[in-house]
Structure 1
């Protein structure tokens, strides 16, 4: 994948491994809120927090159209750490998830839809001291109407340094780690026709994602 950097340069990374963190908020009450959000959809609570789900690297990409089996799927706004041979890059991510399948197993649901990455990435070393000031927002679209569904900062999530320390040698070059998400705004329908996500630094530089959600024809059962 190719990422544009704020200084005008670019980096290309061959994705080899994907890891999705879950329930990774710094605030215990917010983590409980997310657990309750999913419990309302029938998703069982995790055995431990934070959690970590290994995924197929083939799920990481930048599609403009995400095809799904039914209408009960949803995005989740996150940051992603991209490991290069000599650096860590930070970009925006959206973990699209099958909520119906999630009831039967979160790890299974993570394998059913893509991890979508943004267009711009920052060198982690250059922004690590100001990560808590980065804003993370997501909008879900229903027809022509777009509605804000997530609005927060990276200060709500465990920082990249936590995962670098905990995972150590597992973060080999080509690994992409997604952070887990922030709470959704109550009352907003998460099952939409498209998603847009933005991660913005204190200087106003943004990394963006936008994709449509296409429901496929039913299976011939």
Structure 2
């Protein structure tokens, strides 16, 4: 799958970057607070969602499920987005962008892996050099909004200090050799304000308060009928 990014740098002019993705990984259960993770696992288990076999857990997603379009299709009205940092390498450098781990919540109670695989993963069209944000990584802010009753509603917000750093996730998934070319990985998300719920509109932002810039992406969901 080919992705295209505007590489925005604080030191140089914006560059166009093309990337061939042949493997996509969603890093789940990626928070730093293990007690909070365990509490969340127990909450989901009460709803029928199976416990993860490991923490963090790396879900492999088909590369053809990645899209930079502003629209996606999903079967049934049960899916919802989650804003996540998206990391990948280009010419030996680690780059940072933004993605949504859009997931079918109805299927999630049967199989978390299948519920993630079923849905397209929207990715933004802008990226930053990791080296430029690494010194203040924990202060970066993830946000998302959904549409409810015709209103734009804040759905997620939190600093990356609550999530494992990407270097730790990369080593946990790929080993000491680091992320290979052609791989992309999402790096965990924030809790939904008011609880996880579906919406046909999803907007997300990765905000850098130190350099005063953002990566944003928005998409809409066309709900396809469930037929038997």
TM-score, length of structure 1 as denominator length: 0.92
| Aligned counterparts of 1:82 and 1:204: Cα–Cα separation in 2 | 22
- Structure 1 residues 36 and 72: alpha-carbon distance in aligned structure 2, compared to 1, 3 A threshold: farther
Alignment match of 1:2 (pick from 1, 4, 8):
4
| Aligned counterparts of 1:181 and 1:152: Cα–Cα separation in 2 | 9
- Which residue of structure 1 aligns with residue 81 of structure 2? 75
RMSD value, Cα: 1.7
Most deviating of 157-166 and 12-21: 157-166
Most deviating of 188-197 and 108-117: 188-197
1:174-211 Cα offsets, whole Å, 9 max, x none, are: 101011211111x3562112100100112221111101
- Which residue of structure 2 aligns with residue 146 of structure 1? 152
The 5 A counterparts of 1:72-151 are 72-151=78-157
The answer to whether residue 211 in structure 2 is matched with residue 211 in structure 1 is no
User: Which residues of structure 2 form unaligned runs of 5+?
Assistant: none
User: Which residues of structure 1 form unaligned runs of 5+?
Assistant: none
Most deviating of 119-128 and 51-60: 119-128
- Which residue of structure 2 aligns with residue 27 of structure 1? 33
**C-alpha deviation, 1:147, in angstroms:** 0.9
| Aligned counterparts of 2:198 and 2:88: Cα–Cα separation in 1 | 28
The 5 A counterparts of 1:190-201 are 190-201=197-208
TM-score, length of structure 2 as denominator length: 0.89
How many residues matched?
219
| Aligned counterparts of 2:195 and 2:29: Cα–Cα separation in 1 | 20
